[in-house]
Structure formats: structure tokens, C-alpha cells
């Protein structure tokens, strides 16, 4: 089966009475445009995204007919979790991690990074109080097009993904409205 586009997300599609088959991926495989994998039920799937900037997220629907649907499931991995106590700490920790060119995720107002012992020790020594947890790293942060090192744009609206700056502004808005 060849998949050339994402049909939608489980959250906005009716999958009632369908057999659900999962295509399980590691977090770093979600951004690969060409790959072949096998679903949990043994279906061979070849992903061939032709457009730049297409990437998979948790619960994306790749196939749907009247009997079954194939959905993305991001496999849990060891992650560093930082729960910033303020907007300033959120911005600072994101800036510091970004300077180290480490992949970063923001989920439930926490910063998640794939586990690396040196980064964990550095965050601890810097006073950020990280923890090591098993987590799904669902949708990698994309700060700005310039940070990718190439001069094209990406549409982040398909999977409700926002640039880092937008997430920080939204976080700040919630924080300032609570005061």
C-alpha cells in the first residue's frame, strides 16, 4: 500500500465500527518523507510524501475504507522532561536547548527532549530540575523557517503544529490572563 498524503487525524474523523490498525513509529521517523514499514496487523505500507514539510503526528490517519483505518502511533521513548515554573524559565530553557540543537517538544506546558545523559546532567546542574520519563514525543517543535537552515516555508496548520515563538506567546497570554 502506497501512502502519498495524510487523510486527517483521528480527533476529527469518524472511525466508528472500523478495525483500527496502527503504524508504529519512533519519534524521529515521523519526519521522514519516504519510508516503508509494516503495521501491527502485518500490512506493508510505503510512505512517499512528495511535498516538503510533510510529517506525521500522533493519530494521523493514513488509510480509511469501510472496514479499517491505519493510524499513526508514536512509540514511547526515554525523554527528559522539564516543567518550567514561569514564562521566563520556559523561554530560557527552550533557548538553551535550542542552542544545543537538540530536538524539542512542548506537551502539556512541559518541555520534552529525547534522553541524552550529558544534556540531562547539564539541565540538572543549571537548576531546571529535569526528570527522566517514558513519553510519546508527538510533534517536534519547529521554531522558524530560518532555523531549518533553508529558505522555504512550511505549513504547520495541518497537524495543529505551531512555531515555538507562537507557543511561547500563547503560553504568555494564558499566564498574563491568570493574574
Q: What DSSP string runs through 15-41? A: -TTPEEEEEEE-GGGTT-SEEEEE-TT
The predicted structure's pLDDT at residue 151: 37
Whether the model clears a pTM of 0.85, i.e. scores above it, the answer is no
- Rounded mean pLDDT, 59-87: 94
Instruction: State which fold the 2-74 domain adopts.
Output: HSP40/DNAj peptide-binding domain (2.60.260)
Q: Using CA atoms, how far apart are residues 143 and 168, in angstroms rounded to an integer?
A: 10
- Rounded mean pLDDT, 50-70: 89
- Rounded mean pLDDT, 107-111: 89
Q: Using CA atoms, how far apart are residues 130 and 119, in angstroms rounded to an integer?
A: 10
pLDDT at 149 over 50: no
The per-residue pLDDT of the chain, averaged, comes to 83
Of residues 162 and 128, the one with the higher pLDDT is 128
Domain boundaries, the chain: 2-74, 77-178
Helix (H/G/I), strand (E/B), else coil: 115: coil
Residue 157: which region, alpha, beta or left (left: phi > 0; alpha: psi -120 to 50)? alpha
User: pLDDT tens digit string along 10-46?
Assistant: 999 999 999 999 999 999 998 888 999 999 999 999 9
pLDDT at 49 over 90: no
14 with 69: CB under 8 angstroms?
A: no
Question: What percent of the chain clears pLDDT 90, i.e. is strictly above it?
Answer: 52
Please provide the CATH number assigned to the domain covering 77-178.
3.30.70.790
Q: Could you count the other beta carbons within 10 Å of the beta carbon of residue 30?
A: 20
pLDDT at 153 over 60: no
pLDDT band at 54, cuts 50/70/90? confident
Amino acid at each position: 500500500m502506497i501512502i502519498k498524503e495524510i487523510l486527517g487525524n483521528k480527533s476529527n474523523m469518524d472511525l466508528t465500527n472500523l478495525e483500527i490498525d496502527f503504524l508504529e513509529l519512533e519519534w524521529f521517523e515521523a519526519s521522514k518523507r519516504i519510508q516503508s514499514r509494516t503495521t501491527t496487523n502485518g500490512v506493508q505500507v510505503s510512505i512517499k510524501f512528495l511535498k516538503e514539510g510533510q510529517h506525521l503526528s500522533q493519530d494521523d490517519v493514513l488509510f480509511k475504507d469501510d472496514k479499517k483505518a491505519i493510524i499513526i502511533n508514536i512509540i514511547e521513548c526515554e525523554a527528559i522532561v522539564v516543567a518550567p515554573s514561569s514564562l521566563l524559565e520556559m523561554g530560557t530553557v527552550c533557548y538553551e536547548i535550542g542552542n544545543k540543537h537538540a530536538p524539542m517538544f512542548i506537551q502539556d506546558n512541559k518541555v520534552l527532549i529525547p534522553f541524552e545523559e550529558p544534556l540531562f546532567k547539564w539541565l540538572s546542574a543549571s537548576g531546571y530540575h529535569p526528570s527522566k520519563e517514558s513519553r510519546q514525543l508527538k510533534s517536534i517543535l519547529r521554531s522558524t523557517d530560518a532555523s531549518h537552515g533553508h529558505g522555504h516555508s512550511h505549513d504547520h496548520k495541518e497537524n495543529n503544529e505551531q512555531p515555538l515563538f507562537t507557543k511561547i506567546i500563547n503560553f504568555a497570554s494564558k499566564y498574563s490572563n491568570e493574574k
